Copies of this chain bind each other. A is one copy, B any other.
Amino acid sequence: MDGRIYLDHAATTPLDPRVLEAMLPCLRDAWGNPSSVYGEAREARGRFSAARRLVAELLGAAPAEIIFTSGGSESDNLAIRGIAHAARHLGNQVVTVATEHHAVLHATAGLEQEGFTVTRLPVDRCGFVDGAMLEAAVGPDTALVSVMLANNETGTVKQFPRSRGSLRQGTHKRWSTLMQFRRRIARNRRDPPRVDALSLAAHKFYGPKGVGVLYLRTGTPLEAQIVGGSQEKERRAGTENVAGSVGLATALRLAMEELPARVRHVQAIRDRILDEIPRRIAGSVITGPLEPERRLANNASFCFEASTRRCC
């Protein structure tokens, strides 16, 4: 791939060699089953528990609020179906947005087939949801509100009603990038996230593929989607992916530690791309907003048409 520059980190990122180093002892030596009771399992359980504590600390959460999954799609599905099913006695309506990730759109479409009412809010031409419209859509029958904080394709950072209390039954928001996550949520690391559920996929921030996290605020109802053993406090069955979870935790730690430098780096690249592509390529249209605070630091996206006008 000489001379090529990979720019599709929203699709996936390389595995950070430091993350691989952290995973190797789990792959080589700490191979026990964390749910077993004897000595051989103890080292695996210790590393797995430490990964959970580290993720919790980095998110400003409690360890019991961290559920390890196989990735972002499973986390999204678990949050949406799991909360909606468990909260069904409280209401039959789910509120979401037309531009969500397919893991959210298809999961809510499934709820619709089960008899839920799904309200899909429209967005403006830059991808924004109207906050007043969102608040108005939430009513006494709302079981769940699921809105991504930032769009993974257009980079649009969503604007929300500030008060979670105005939504009767929890909000599930999905972060498409860690940078966004940190800027918005973790200013005070001791503050828990201001949502009830949050999905992370390790391979989006230099971690391994096949592992994710669902943060679930204490007290949020959840029905398990993969059932069997009692792993993850009966919220997600299956032998624990120790190496993957350690990899996710390490990648998250590095992302948090290096966030200011990473943001500076990608933002400069983003701005140059957003500046030069429309000037150099006739018919290119920037999608999403241009204002720095309203667009992900790592996102530049375009449509290519006959006209070069901006979408907003």
Q: Chain B nearest CB: distance from A186 CB in Å?
A: 24
**1/0 contact string of A98-128 vs chain B (CB within 8 Å):** 0001111011001000000000000000000
**1/0 contact string of A202-221 vs chain B (CB within 8 Å):** 01000011110000000000
Residues of B within 8 A of A104 (CB): 228
Residues of B within 8 A of A23 (CB): 27
Task: List CB contacts (< 8 Å) of A199-251 with chain B.
Answer: 201, 203, 208-211, 225-229, 237-244
Q: Pull 15 A–B residue pairs with CB atoms less than 8 Å apart, ordered by A.
A: A4-B40, A70-B241, A71-B238, A73-B228, A73-B237, A77-B227, A102-B228, A102-B229, A103-B237, A106-B227, A107-B227, A110-B227, A201-B239, A203-B239, A209-B244
Residue of B15, B76, B77, B110 touching A27 (CB-CB under 8 A): B15
Chain B CB count within 10 A is highest, among A17, A103, A208, A239, for A239
Residues of B within 8 A of A160 (CB): none
**Identical copies in the complex:** 2
- Contacts A14-B31, A211-B210 given: A39-B1 contact, CB under 8 Å? yes
CB-based contact B71/A209 at 8 Å: no
- Contacts A208-B243, A209-B242, A210-B244 given: A237-B102 contact, CB under 8 Å? yes
Residues of B within 8 A of A73 (CB): 226-229, 237-239
Assess whether A193 is interfacial by the CB under 8 Å rule: no
- Interface stretch of the complex, out of A5-13, A50-58, A136-144: A5-13
- Contacts A1-B39, A203-B239, A210-B210 given: A27-B20 contact, CB under 8 Å? yes
CB-based contact A15/B36 at 8 Å: no
Assess whether A32 is interfacial by the CB under 8 Å rule: yes
Assess whether A170 is interfacial by the CB under 8 Å rule: no
A247 to B116, CA, bound (A): 40
Residues of B within 8 A of A103 (CB): 227-229, 237-238
CB-based contact B210/A77 at 8 Å: no
Assess whether A196 is interfacial by the CB under 8 Å rule: no
Residues of B within 8 A of A38 (CB): 8
A8 to B40, CA, bound (A): 10
10 closest residue pairs by CB, A with B: A210-B241, A103-B228, A70-B70, A106-B227, A73-B238, A73-B228, A12-B33, A14-B31, A11-B33, A73-B237
Assess whether A89 is interfacial by the CB under 8 Å rule: no
A8 to B201, CA, bound (A): 31
CB-based contact A77/B241 at 8 Å: no
Residue of B11, B74, B237 touching A226 (CB-CB under 8 A): B74
Assess whether A28 is interfacial by the CB under 8 Å rule: yes
Q: Chain B nearest CB: distance from A102 CB in Å?
A: 5
A52 to B84, CA, bound (A): 35
CB nearest neighbor in B for A39: B1
- Contacts A101-B228, A228-B103, A239-B203 given: A8-B36 contact, CB under 8 Å? yes
Assess whether A72 is interfacial by the CB under 8 Å rule: yes
